Amino acid sequence: MSRIAVIIDELFEDSEYTEPVKAFKENGHQIIHVGLETGKTVTGKKEQTPVVIDRDLDSVSADEFDALLIPGGFSPDKLRANEKAVLFTKAFVEKEKPVFSICHGPQLLITADVLKGRKITGWTSIIQDIKNAGAEFIDREVVEDKNIISSRNPGDLPAFIAASLAKLK
Amino acid sequence: MSRIAVIIDELFEDSEYTEPVKAFKENGHQIIHVGLETGKTVTGKKEQTPVVIDRDLDSVSADEFDALLIPGGFSPDKLRANEKAVLFTKAFVEKEKPVFSICHGPQLLITADVLKGRKITGWTSIIQDIKNAGAEFIDREVVEDKNIISSRNPGDLPAFIAASLAKLK
């Protein structure tokens, strides 16, 4: 069983949260929602899925978790403006813990400055940002580069979930 | 009198559209809304300000206009995924026509690959993207670098509008 942190804020892409989390839970893993304010409910941008933040960024450390999920939508744009969210994300990459990034997820990794020389995919609008960050953008449903697993959009979810589950103990 | 193109899509930051446009009109300038689909109404993310698209990107050329306004919010993220929106924006910079960019506006300029060596400001979340694009990020209410005038957020609107108006004939 792994303890998986989901870093999340308002306007996340609903299915990029709900589907991986459902699969992780069904496989016996534990989900902890990490965000800007403990107890706050954040909502998805299409279906208004409610998510209650379990732990805020002031009190968490990557050491408490085995992996990190970064759902897409506009949530990563909001989180990357917060230095603690950026440092929390950076720690997972540097400690070589699995990081599952989909859609706009790489925005957090770009601000964390951990993509130089890495292979990654993501949403169309951020392709230039990914390249400018020194990463190699790959247009494929799932890209695995050591501890970083990434996908482009909700259509890639089956491949994203399968690759992510395979990475968990 | 100048003809000003406003490139805009869903979830724009209301005040970053309404306030400059009000000032431009009051000063006798003409506003043309350019977007993905002529006749479609796009709405702001906070106050749901409705904006009807006058011209779609298939039928416009930068040659028809004297200046470009890029309001922020999530509108630039949506537009930069469209190649014609990117080329339209790029043409204004290359033809040295005034470009007024606020908040997430630089995202379009990054995908257009026109920021190398330029001084610019923008919203906190995209600072790393601006730097990675080869630009110099300046944390100031308004930054003027030749034909590009930029501001960070709605709080900068008075300075942004004053600098933009001064650039128009």
- Which chain A residues are closer than 8 Å to B110 by Cβ? 128-129, 132
Q: What region does A167 belong to: left with phi over 0, alpha with psi -120 to 50, or beta?
A: alpha
Residue pLDDT, tens place only, A2-18: 999 999 999 999 999 99
What ipTM was estimated for this complex? Answer: 0.96
Residue pLDDT, tens place only, B72-106: 999 999 999 999 999 999 999 999 999 999 999 99
Residue pLDDT, tens place only, B105-149: 999 999 999 999 999 999 999 999 999 999 999 999 999 999 999
Nearest to A124 among B81, B127, B128 (CB): B81
**Cβ atoms of A96 and A63 closer than 8 Å:** no
* pLDDT computed for residue A38 by the predictor: 98
State which amino acid sits at residue A92: F
User: Average pLDDT, stretch B12-41?
Assistant: 98
**B133 and A132 in contact by Cβ < 8 A?**
yes
Given a cut of 90, whether residue A169 has pLDDT beyond it is no
Report residue B31 as tokens. Answer: 């506003």
**Closest by alpha carbon to B8, among B37, B46, B29?**
B37
Separation between Cα atoms, residue A74 and residue A88, nearest integer Å: 18
* pLDDT computed for residue B120 by the predictor: 98
What domains does chain B contain, in order, with CATH numbers? 3-167 (3.40.50.880)
pTM over 0.90, yes/no: yes
Given a cut of 90, whether residue A116 has pLDDT beyond it is yes
Instruction: Please name the residue ranges forming H helices in chain B.
Output: 14-26, 75-79, 83-94, 106-111, 127-132, 157-167
* pLDDT computed for residue B169 by the predictor: 83
Q: Which of B103, B110, B142, B163 is catalytic?
A: B103
Residue pLDDT, tens place only, B38-70: 999 999 999 999 999 999 999 999 999 999 999
Sort A118 into a burial class: Cβ within 10 Å, 0-12 / 13-18 / 19+.
Answer: buried
Q: Which residue, chain included where needed, has tokens 């490139």?
A: B7
State which amino acid sits at residue B145: D
**A81 and B129 in contact by Cβ < 8 A?**
no
